[in-house]
Amino acid sequence: MKKKCCFAFILLLISVLCFSCKNRNRFRISVSDLKKTEKSLHIIRFDSAIINLDTNNAVNSLKNLAEQYPEIYANYFEMLQIDAADTVFTAKMMIDLLTDSAYSSINRAVGKTFVNIAPIERQMASVYTYFNTYFPEVQLPDIFFFVSGCNASTVIFPNCIGIGTDWYLGEDFYNFYEKLTYAYLVQNMTPQSIPVDISLAIFKMNFPFRSEQNRLIDNMLYQGRLMYLLSVMLPEATPENIAGYTPEQFAWCKQYEREIWGTIIDQKHLFSTDYGLIRDYTGDAPFTQPVSQESPGRVGNWIGWQIIKSYMDNNTDVALQTLARDNNFQKILEKSKYKP
């Protein structure tokens, strides 16, 4: 009798695991279909064009650049708050930027780090294939790389998204980045973060946060939904990369998931509309203040992701398109049956 019960339990466990795996992968696009589009996306290397600008003939070089990339050129100098129409002044500013000892070394590092961007292009081609499949109405922007003396990481314009490659050089430059921004933000300044940041920008542009009540749970589920969508669009990305966490931070959240949820419930924070409290749970910070000084920041977003996963696992009839547009966060919470 015991053997029969044990065998039945094993069969049940296998069926649950198989269902869970199938459910998680139900939006996966086949490798053969992805390969058809691998060479269809090319990132514009405006960063290389700027780095290799002829400083001995800067005015004419800039004119050539403006002719080659008119829209990017205008947006780029607008971002830098430089009047691109004043070519002489623009040339002087660019010479100063390119010959500065600190930033010239950064630009050399950009050349080495991003000498081969084929893996990033392949990932983004995959992302765009997912968008074309599930969200064909979304106008997908051109992608360009730029350098700006570490003035910006991601910039969004009507028809294009720019990535500041001098802001994604990885751990060898963490000490340098910590002089420019908060230390807790530096861990995501790596090449691996670029596909996530681009994809996240596209989602936020097309599916912005909307909530009449603007409660903590609404914000958590919106951010969690973004992570879920990213995990679908970037199946090769690690969960830590999607969450913007180190492996240790992600492991901490997994270990204390029940305690985190218990804290939110016990302190009656879940339905709070207090802006400061919402920011404490969902904003970038060295830790999540209401939870623990041992926690990473944005723990509320991570819990939101777990709720969304539970919702999608327990409601297999919900399409990805429906999830992306559904702002009935109360319904999502209730139907998620989330119990860590």
- Token digits for 231? 């995990």
**Are residues 101 and 66 located together in one domain of the fold?**
yes
Q: Does residue 121 sit in the same domain as residue 157?
A: yes
State whether 174 and 277 are in the same domain: no
Q: What is the mean pLDDT of the chain?
A: 91
Mean pLDDT of the 203-221 span = 96
Say if pTM beats, i.e. exceeds, 0.85: yes
Pair 78, 202 in one domain: yes
Report whether pLDDT(109) > 60. yes
* Residue 40 confidence (pLDDT): 76
Assess if residue 317 is contained within a domain: yes
Bridge partners of 145, per DSSP, are 45, 163
225 and 127 part of one domain? no
pLDDT in tens, 45-99: 999 999 999 999 999 999 999 999 999 999 999 988 899 889 899 999 999 888 9
- Residue 30 resides in a domain: no
Residue 108 confidence (pLDDT): 94
Interval 128-146: pLDDT, tens: 999 999 999 999 999 999 9
Average pLDDT over residues 186-212: 96
Q: Tell whether 252 is covered by a domain.
A: yes
Q: Do 107 and 189 share a structural domain?
A: yes
Q: Report yes or no on 8 lying in a domain.
A: no
Structural domain ending residue among the three candidates 172, 206, 240: 206
Domain-ending residue, one of 206, 237, 260: 206
Q: How many CB atoms lie within 10 A of CB 280?
A: 21
User: Can you give the pLDDT at residue 32?
Assistant: 77
Q: Are residues 188 and 135 in the same domain?
A: yes
Within a domain: residue 27? no
Q: 3-class DSSP state for residue 116?
A: coil
- Which is more confident, 252 or 13? 252
Count of domains for the chain: 2
When pLDDT is cut at 50, 70 and 90, the band that residue 245 belongs to is very high
Residue finishing a domain among 184, 206, 228: 206
| 10-27 pLDDT tens trace | 444 444 444 444 455 789
pLDDT of 8 > 90? The answer is no
Q: What is the pLDDT of residues 257-268, one digit of tens each?
A: 999 999 999 999
The pLDDT > 90 percentage for the chain reads 80
127, 232: one domain: no
pLDDT for res 13: 43
**Shared-domain flag, residues 198 and 246:** no
pLDDT at 38: 66
Q: What is the pLDDT of residue 152?
A: 86
Distances (CA, A) of 333 to 159, 217, 282, 336: 35, 8, 17, 5
Residue range of the domain that includes 273? 216-336
- Domain assignment present for residue 15? The answer is no
Is the residue at 139 inside a domain? Answer: yes
In this structure, are 302 and 322 located in the same domain?
yes
Same domain, residue pair 200 and 58? yes
For a pLDDT cut of 70, what percent of the chain falls above it?
Answer: 92
What pLDDT was estimated at residue 14?
45
Sheet with 160-164: list strands edge to edge: 44-45, 142-146, 160-164, 154-157
Integer angstrom CA distances of residue 229 from 97, 237, 249, 310:
38, 12, 21, 14
Query: Do 185 and 100 share a domain, yes or no?
Result: yes
| pLDDT greater than 80 at residue 305 | yes
Whole-number pLDDT of residue 19: 42
Helical residues (DSSP H) of 69-192, grouped into ranges: 70-79, 87-99, 101-113, 118-134, 174-177
Q: What is the pLDDT of residue 25?
A: 77
What is the per-residue pLDDT for 292? Answer: 96
* Cβ pair 278, 285 in contact under 8 A: no
Q: How far is CA 75 from the centre of its chain?
A: 22
Distances, alpha carbon 120 to alpha carbons 55, 115, 163, 237, in Å: 30, 11, 12, 11
In a domain, residue 285? The reply is yes
Nearest residue to 162 (alpha-carbon basis) of 80, 285, 249, 261:
80
Q: What 3-state class would DSSP assign to 133? A: helix
pLDDT of 200 reads: 97
Which pLDDT score, from 0 to 100, does residue 103 have? Answer: 86
Mean pLDDT of 314-321: 97
Q: Give whole-number Cα distances, 124 to 89, 130, 245, 276, in Å.
A: 36, 10, 21, 35
